[in-house]
Structure 1
Amino acid sequence: MPERTRDGAGESGICAGRVVIVTGAGRGIGREHALEFARQGARVVVNDVGVARDGAAAGEPVARTVVEEIRALGAEAVANTDDVADWDGAKALVASALAAFGRLDVLVNNAGFVRDRMIVSMTEQEWDAVVRVHLKGHAAPLRHAAAHWRDEAKAGRRPDARVINTSSGAGLQGSVGQANYGAAKAGIAALTLTAATELARYGVTANAIAPSARTRMTEGVFATMDRPESGFDAMDPANIAPLVVWLGSELSAHVTGQVFEVEGGRIAVASGWHHGVPADRGGRWDPADVGPAVDKLLAAAPPAEPVYGS
């Protein structure tokens, strides 16, 4: 059996034999996911419609380019350009994996774009477009992949399947100028928790990442950051892929319903909302008494994380 190296594909690797869909895989973080899955033995469906940074139609053949890179590694891949935020397009994406490789083991939802604007000047179209591509663009592929895995489980072929969603610090803490993006990413975190609970019975885990890396969506923030003398570029999007590939492997079967923050060489488990210690009056509150009670609760609560950009 040939050995696998970082620069080439063989028959070993922690995802050997698995079939993976990666959405938004034509550039940036998604491209690095697709390449690393291939290095680790997976067969990859590279999905990307080839749009511009703000979602404007561009028709660039970026999915095909990544497929060619994967095949140059000696691995298998096919390109797909379905719109993941379209219900039928997402169904066709799942069907393309089954048609090409006969199975589906991993869904990595990564596709998205930004249209940043302060909330007071955001247009309805800017809101709808970003929420659609991120939130619906996660929900639609997940729905059709989940239906396939449910059918497999009911047929006696219990999957060992994985869903990895892409949230963001903007969704966990908020981000000035990104109300549309942050709201969608917060929704993705909640979607992940729900999916982890609903799909466990079918042999499916669901986790999410909140990555920080240099991409088209963050180029204005990270593009000018200096690389350290060590040569390690903490903002290289390739740094995100190892966690995602591990989450897509059979080794991660015990991990579900988690949101991981990942940046450079750092991985952390994000702690989400928890029930706080209540002030219980034992009956209905008088509005005049609510303020002092809230002040006392806030004084005892841990401080909130600051909003990005505040």
Structure 2
Amino acid sequence: MNPRIGNIEGFGLDTISLAGSLSAKLTAVRDAGFGQLMLSARDLTTHPEGVDAAIAAVRASGLRVTGFQVLRDFEGLEGHLRDYKVDVAKSMLELCAAVRAPVLLVCSSTSKHASADLDVIAADLRQLAMLAVPLGLKIAYEALSWGRTVSDFPMAWDVVMRADAPNLGLGLDSFHLFATQTPMDGIDELDPRRIFLVQLADFMWQEVRSIEERIATARHFRVFPGEGVHSDQVAELVTRLDRLGYRGDYSFEVFNDDYQQMPPATVAARALRSAIWLGETVLQRSVPLPGRIRLRRPG
């Protein structure tokens, strides 16, 4: 760990943001000074020495796992499609528990085969939450901006409330919020105890003019907060959440083809600059101890 920086509390890095092997990613995140990271299932399943070795590497890294992703197109299905996705969900929940991640991220369905009935969607998410209970896990439901039915966080929140499961909450992603130009006033209506994860990213243009461009931007052209043209909006989002009472984790989820051609340490350093900007400038956190940046209030 970088002795000049120390452990950064509250902010972490998503492994999707980095190129290279799992070992290289773990080293880059830790050496940059972060104490946590968000894992993808592929980090484990593509490890050359197998899943068990990948799990052991994560545990040995000393990094806290913020969450685990991502279960897609789960809700609203019937018959054999539903059974198939339940099996997939069980496998992902087991991996999530194995790396001691507290939260499994679930994205709203894009499937044309899925029901658009919000009560059906809520019932399926309630079932998923029940499957997670024996493992001590939470489910964070995130609205994809190109979701078939649920495409913004107010609608995702409606579904979470309909499901009424204590371990089912909301996952917020700044990219989707900005891409759809969803008003942020709705943040103030959320229960901070039911926000289980916040993922942060920016992008380089003011607006996306089509669904196709939105998807391409999301998957290839995100940048870290403070690097894009939505810095004011990122700052407002984090400030609103802090004022609301959210004291959970923030993860930088930055899909960027250019970053995939850069050394993981270089990209992790860019993420560190974002954490310092958000924690020390936007949230006006002080440094309580020499060499230690504290970005989150206790409690």
TM-score by length of 2: 0.35
Q: Which has the higher contact order (CA 8 A, sep 6+)?
A: 2
The structure with the larger Rg is 1
- Between structures 1 and 2, the one with greater helix share: 2
TM-score by length of 1: 0.34
